[in-house]
Amino acid sequence: MNETLPTAPSADSSPASGRIAFLGCGSMNEAILAGLLAAGTPAANMTATVRRTERAGELRGRYPGLTVLAENEDPEANSKAVAGASVAVLGVKPAGITALCRSIAPALEAQTVVVSVAAAVTIAAMEAALPAGQPLVRTMPNTPLQVGRGAVGLSGGSHVSEVQLKEASAVFAGAGTVVMVPEEQLDAVGAVSGSGPAYAFYLAEAMAAAGVELGLEPAVAMTLARETVAGAGLMLAVEGADPAALRKAVTSPNGTTERAIAAFDAAGLPAIIAAGARAAKERAAELSRELG
Ligand X SMILES: NC(=O)C1=CN([C@@H]2O[C@H](COP(=O)(O)OP(=O)(O)OC[C@H]3O[C@@H](n4cnc5c(N)ncnc54)[C@H](OP(=O)(O)O)[C@@H]3O)[C@@H](O)[C@H]2O)C=CC1
| Least distance from ligand A1CAB to the Cβ atom of residue 130, Å | 21
Order across the sheet with 46-50: list the strands. 67-70, 46-50, 20-23, 87-90, 113-116, 136-140, 150-156, 176-180
60 binds, among ligand A1CAB, ligand X, none (CB under 5 to 8 A by kind): none
- Of 35, 91, 135, 174, the one binding ligand X by CB under 6 A: 91
**Footprint on residues 166-195 left by ligand X (CB under 6 A):** 194
| Least distance from ligand A1CAB to the Cβ atom of residue 193, Å | 9
- 41 touches ligand A1CAB by CB under 6 A: no
Nearer to ligand X, 50 or 171 (CB): 50
Which residues fall within 8 angstroms of residue 103, CB to CB, at 6 or more apart? 78, 79
Are 45 and 67 contacting, i.e. CB atoms less than 8 angstroms apart?
A: no
- 46 touches ligand X by CB under 6 A: no
Distance of CA 240 to the CA centre of its chain: 22
Q: Is 148 annotated in some ligand binding site?
A: no
| Least distance from ligand X to the Cβ atom of residue 161, Å | 25
- 26 touches ligand X by CB under 6 A: yes
The span from the first CA to the last CA of the chain, in angstroms, equals: 37
- Of 23, 81, 119, 208, the one binding ligand A1CAB by CB under 6 A: 119
| CA atoms within a 13 Å half-sphere pointing along the CA-CB vector of 291 | 23
Q: Is 28 annotated in some ligand binding site?
A: yes
- 102 touches ligand X by CB under 6 A: no
- 25 touches ligand X by CB under 6 A: yes
SS3 content of the chain, % helix, strand, coil (to 5): 55, 15, 30
- 117 touches ligand X by CB under 6 A: yes
Beta-ladder partners of 90:
23, 116
**H or E stretch covering 29:** helix 27-38
Are 135 and 164 contacting, i.e. CB atoms less than 8 angstroms apart?
A: yes
DSSP 194: I
**Footprint on residues 178-207 left by ligand A1CAB (CB under 6 A):** 190, 194-195
- 4 touches ligand X by CB under 6 A: no
Number of residues that bind ligand A1CAB (CB under 6 A): 4
- Closest by CA to 144, choosing from 96, 195, 79, is 195
Cα 273 from Cα 197, distance rounded (Å)? 13
- 151 touches ligand A1CAB by CB under 6 A: no
- Of 50, 123, 171, 280, the one binding ligand X by CB under 6 A: 50
- Closest by CA to 166, choosing from 23, 17, 37, is 17
Positions touching ligand X (CB under 6 A) are 23-28, 49-52, 55, 71, 78, 91-94, 96, 100, 117-119, 140-143, 194
Annotated binding site for NADP(+): 23-28
Annotated binding site for NADPH: 78
Positions touching ligand A1CAB (CB under 6 A) are 119, 190, 194-195
